[in-house]
């Protein structure tokens, strides 16, 4: 069969920039990890400014249900924003005031137990010396554990709170600007929905998780604090209200928060009531933590957050090393925002989500995404922050 010159076609050139699928995933992974490293480095260098601002963002997101209810009740938008801002100021002032008061009372009361602490320290050294090890060896091994140093360290904590004044200022200023910037979020989100719908869904999942995390953590923190305070009063542990405030604050720290709240009251119970009281404190704290914080609370936060326990613990360790105490409190929200930008927003990174979340977390997120996309068609307004 003959062909004319017009029938002769040159072979088509391969499409430019066409690479094997595996290399595309690897490239995205490398770029994502590099971006994550750059962001983490920047946070660690400017944690004193970034962490309070991020905490302010979390508080504003968590307060959005209140603002929507005020607007539905007929209050003007500016009026709702002012009320929300005042509520956030009051909550922040109450939390900081309770924490400073607790540390101040503890700093005043602790010196009264210093002699008993030194006596208990000597009894421990003597007890350990009975197990085939001379007392001199035990003393040399515990030479760095000086009771006076421990007492002084606890007393100095109250003074160190004043050094957080700069971060508190950043937090208050960021709260003010973010609350009044909320109306513009709706327009920005509409632009993101048109240009990057998957990113919009990822940010919506992040805001859902933040709301659930903070609201549920606060409610269950109050429950745990009340139970612990009543139990300590019944046992007769000094400063029971102080340790209740400590239990409430440490409830925001995942996994190990209850341990941080357990050590001081258990130590005071040992100093004032002996080993039996100390054991009772440990048992009560462990039971409350096991029932409420390990079984009940995760049921309420798991649907929105969806992080595995291992990821939650590793994120706690990681963000604490990066940003200190605020990094520990914000470990879960920080992990959620990193996941939203680097994993959920890119379909090629979906495989990584299987290692970060519980098995049914992605399915729940997809159902919420479909529900959000149906809302405008049903005549419902888009939410302001997710």
* Domain annotation covers residue 267: yes
**Pair (113, 73) in one structural domain:** yes
**Pair (71, 143) in one structural domain:** yes
Identify each DSSP E strand in 236-333 by its residue range.
Answer: none
Winning range, highest mean pLDDT, from 74-83, 144-153, 287-296:
74-83
How far is C-alpha 180 from the chain's CA centre?
24
Distances (CA, A) of 142 to 79, 135, 266: 60, 10, 21
**Pair (150, 214) in one structural domain:** no
* Domain annotation covers residue 32: no
Name the domain count of the chain. Answer: 2
- Give the pLDDT mean for 30-41: 77
**Pair (263, 121) in one structural domain:** no
Higher pLDDT, 21 or 97: 97
Which pLDDT value is given to residue 383? 43
Evaluate whether 56 touches 178 at the Cβ level (below 8 Å).
yes
For 333, the domain range is: 196-379
* Domain annotation covers residue 90: yes
**DSSP letter (8 states) at residue 289:** I
**Pair (109, 228) in one structural domain:** no
**Pair (246, 313) in one structural domain:** yes
**Pair (48, 167) in one structural domain:** yes
**Pair (112, 165) in one structural domain:** yes
Which pLDDT value is given to residue 231? 93
- Give the pLDDT mean for 39-62: 87
* Domain annotation covers residue 187: no
* Domain annotation covers residue 302: yes
* Domain annotation covers residue 77: yes
| 196 pLDDT higher than 70 | yes
Mean confidence (pLDDT) of the chain = 76
Alpha-carbon gap, residue 202 to 368, rounded angstroms: 11
| 275 pLDDT higher than 80 | yes
**Pair (242, 270) in one structural domain:** yes
368, containing H or E segment: helix 361-374
| 283 pLDDT higher than 80 | yes
Burial of 1 (0-12, 13-18, 19+ CB in 10 A): exposed
Question: Which of 181, 205, 231 is where one domain is finished?
Answer: 181
Helices (H) and strands (E) in the chain, counts: 18, 0
Winning range, highest mean pLDDT, from 31-35, 64-68, 346-350:
64-68
């Amino acid at each position: 069969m003959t062909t004319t010159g017009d029938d002769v076609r040159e072979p088509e050139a391969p499409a430019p920039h066409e690479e094997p699928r595996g290399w595309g995933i690897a490239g995205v992974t490398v770029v994502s990890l590099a971006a994550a490293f750059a962001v983490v480095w920047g946070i660690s260098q400017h944690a004193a400014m970034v962490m309070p601002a991020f905490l302010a963002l979390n508080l504003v997101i968590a307060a959005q249900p209140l603002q929507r209810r005020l607007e539905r009740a007929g209050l003007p938008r500016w009026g709702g924003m002012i009320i929300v801002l005042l509520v956030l100021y009051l909550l922040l002032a109450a939390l900081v005031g309770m924490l400073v008061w607790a540390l101040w009372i503890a700093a005043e009361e602790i010196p009264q137990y210093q002699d008993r602490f030194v006596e208990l320290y000597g009894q421990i050294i003597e007890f350990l010396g009975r197990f085939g090890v001379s007392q001199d060896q035990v003393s040399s091994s515990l030479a760095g554990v000086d009771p006076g140093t421990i007492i002084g360290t606890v007393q100095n904590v109250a003074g160190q709170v004043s050094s957080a004044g700069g971060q508190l200022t950043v937090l208050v200023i960021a709260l003010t600007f973010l609350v009044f910037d909320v109306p513009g979020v709706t327009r920005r989100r509409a632009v993101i929905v048109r240009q990057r719908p998957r990113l919009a869904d990822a940010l919506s999942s992040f805001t859902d998780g933040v709301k659930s995390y903070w609201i549920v953590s606060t409610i269950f923190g109050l429950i745990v604090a009340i139970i612990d305070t009543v139990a300590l009063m019944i046992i007769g542990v000094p400063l029971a209200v102080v340790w209740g405030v400590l239990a409430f604050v440490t409830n925001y720290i995942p996994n190990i928060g209850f341990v941080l709240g357990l050590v001081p009251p258990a130590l005071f119970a040992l100093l004032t009531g002996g080993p039996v009281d100390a054991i009772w404190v440990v048992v009560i704290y462990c039971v409350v933590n096991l029932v409420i914080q390990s079984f009940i609370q995760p049921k309420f936060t798991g649907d929105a957050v969806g992080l595995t326990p291992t990821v939650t613990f590793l994120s706690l360790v990681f963000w604490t090393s990066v940003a200190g105490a605020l990094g520990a409190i914000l470990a879960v929200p920080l992990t959620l925002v990193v996941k939203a930008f680097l994993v959920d927003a890119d379909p090629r990174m979906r495989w990584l989500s299987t290692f970060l979340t519980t098995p049914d977390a992605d399915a729940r997120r997809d159902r919420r995404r479909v529900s959000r996309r149906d809302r405008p068609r049903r005549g419902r307004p888009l939410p302001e922050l997710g």
